[in-house]
Amino acid sequence: MNNIVSPQFDAQGRLRHLLTLDGVPAAEIEALLAAAEPLIATPGVAADYPAALAGRTVATLFFEPSTRTRCSFELAAKRLGADVVHLGAAGSSAAKGESLADTLYTLEAMNVDLLIVRHKESGVCEKLAALAGPQTAIVNAGEGRTDHPTQGLLDALTIARRKPDFAKLGIAIVGDIAHSRVARSAVTAFTALGATDLRLVGPTAWLPEEPPFAAAKHFTRLGEGIAGADVVMALRIQKERMNSAELPDSSSYFENYGLTEARLAAAAPDALVMHPGPMNRGVEIDDEVADGWRAVIREQVRNGVAVRMAVMMRLLENRADREEVLV
C-alpha cells in the first residue's frame, strides 16, 4: 500500500480521509467490513460499544437532504462516545455567504476531529481534504453523482453477510444508474471484492459505460437483466439531478422497471432485494417487495451504522499513528 498516491491516503498508505472507494484496496475494504461486523446492533438488545471516540468531536455538514446517512453517522459517533454537532446549508453561516473552506477552519478551531460532508458537487470533499489540518479527517457522506463510499461499504457488507462469495454472484442494478453515486460506489466495492457478473438495467440513457461500469452488461428489459440474479438493487430516480426533459413518467417507469413479486420470479429463488433509500414506492418498487421476505433494505440501514462506526474508528486509529499530529 505504500506506493498509493491519493489524497485520501497518508504517507504510509493508510486511510487519512474517506473520499471515494475508487483506488481503495480490497484488503482495506475487507478490513472495514470485518471491523463493522461486531458493531452491528441486534434489535432490542442494549449494545456495549467501545468508547473509541470518547473525547473526540464529529461535525456533520449536510448541504443536501438526508435521513439515513445523517442519522447513521450521528448515531455511530454518539454510540462510540463522540460529541456531535450538525450543520446544514440553511441554518449555518453558509446561508450568509461563508465559504466551505472557512466553515472547515471554523470547525477546526473548535477541535473537530472528523468532518462528515454531503454536497451536491463532486470534488468538494477532496478540496476540503487538501485544506484540512493534520488533525482533521474528512468523510464523504455522498457528493454529486460520483461517490457515496460508506453506502458502497454498507451495501457490500449487507451482501457479504448473506452471500459472501462475490465471484459467484449475479448482481443487477436497476434504474437511474447514470445519476447515482450509490451505484458508482457499490460497483466499485463489489468489483474490488471479486464480483464479475454485474448488470445495469434501465432505459438506455441511464446506463453509463465509463468506469467503474466498463465491464458491466447493459439490459433495457428488466426480465432479461435480472434473470437468475442473486442480488437485485433498485435505485431511486434522482429527479434533483435531471432537467425536465429527462424526467420519466412514473407509471410507465413502474410498468417497465418497477420491482414486483411477479417480475422477481425471473431472479434466483433466494435473490436479495436492495434499495439504498429513500424509496419511491409504486415507482421503483412495490410495497409487497419493499416489505417482503427478499428485501434487505432495513438491514442495509442497520449495517450502515456499524460501517460508519468502523470508518470513523479506522480514521482516528490511523491518525493516532501519525506522529506529526501528536505534537
Pick from 35, 68, 135, 250 the residue near ligand CP by CB under 6 A. 68
Segment near ligand CP (CB under 6 A); pick from 67-75, 85-93, 120-128, 250-258? 67-75
Please state the closest distance from residue 227 (CB atom) to ligand CP, in A. Answer: 27
Instruction: Find where cell 455567504 sits.
Output: 97
Q: Looking at this protein, which amino acid is placed at residue 267?
A: A
Q: Mask of contacts with ligand CP, 13-52, x by CB under 6 A? A: ----------------------------------------
Segment near ligand CP (CB under 6 A); pick from 63-71, 93-101, 156-164, 166-174? 63-71
Give the DSSP H/E element, type plus range, for residue 285. none
Q: Which is nearer to ligand CP, 136 or 151 (CB)?
A: 151
276 binds ligand CP (CB under 6 A): yes
Q: Looking at this protein, which amino acid is placed at residue 83?
A: D
Site for ligand CP in 135-164 (CB under 6 A): 142, 151
Q: Given 3-state DSSP classes, what are the helix, strand and coil percentages for the chain, each rounded to the nearest 5? A: 40, 15, 45
Residue 154: which of 86, 68, 66, 60 has the closest Cα? 68
Please state the closest distance from residue 309 (CB atom) to ligand CP, in A. Answer: 16
258 binds ligand CP (CB under 6 A): no
69 binds ligand CP (CB under 6 A): yes
Residues touching ligand CP, count (CB under 6 A): 9
Distance CA(115)–CA(61), nearest Å, equals 7
Q: Mask of contacts with ligand CP, 305-324, x by CB under 6 A? A: --------------------
Distance CA(241)–CA(260), nearest Å, equals 26
Segment near ligand CP (CB under 6 A); pick from 36-44, 92-100, 191-199, 275-283? 275-283
Q: Which is nearer to ligand CP, 80 or 274 (CB)?
A: 274
Q: Contact 192/215 with Cβ under 8 angstroms?
A: no
Q: Contact 79/310 with Cβ under 8 angstroms?
A: no
**What DSSP assignment string belongs to 201-262?**
ES-GGG---STTSTT-EEESSHHHHTTT-SEEEE----GGGS-GGGPPPHHHHHHHH-B-HH
Please state the closest distance from residue 119 (CB atom) to ligand CP, in A. Answer: 12
State residue 205 phi and psi, 5-degree precision. -65, -20
Pick from 202, 277, 290, 310 the residue near ligand CP by CB under 6 A. 277
Pick from 8, 20, 60, 66 the residue near ligand CP by CB under 6 A. 66
Q: Contact 157/306 with Cβ under 8 angstroms?
A: yes
Applying CB under 6 A, which residues contact ligand CP?
Answer: 66-69, 142, 151, 276-278
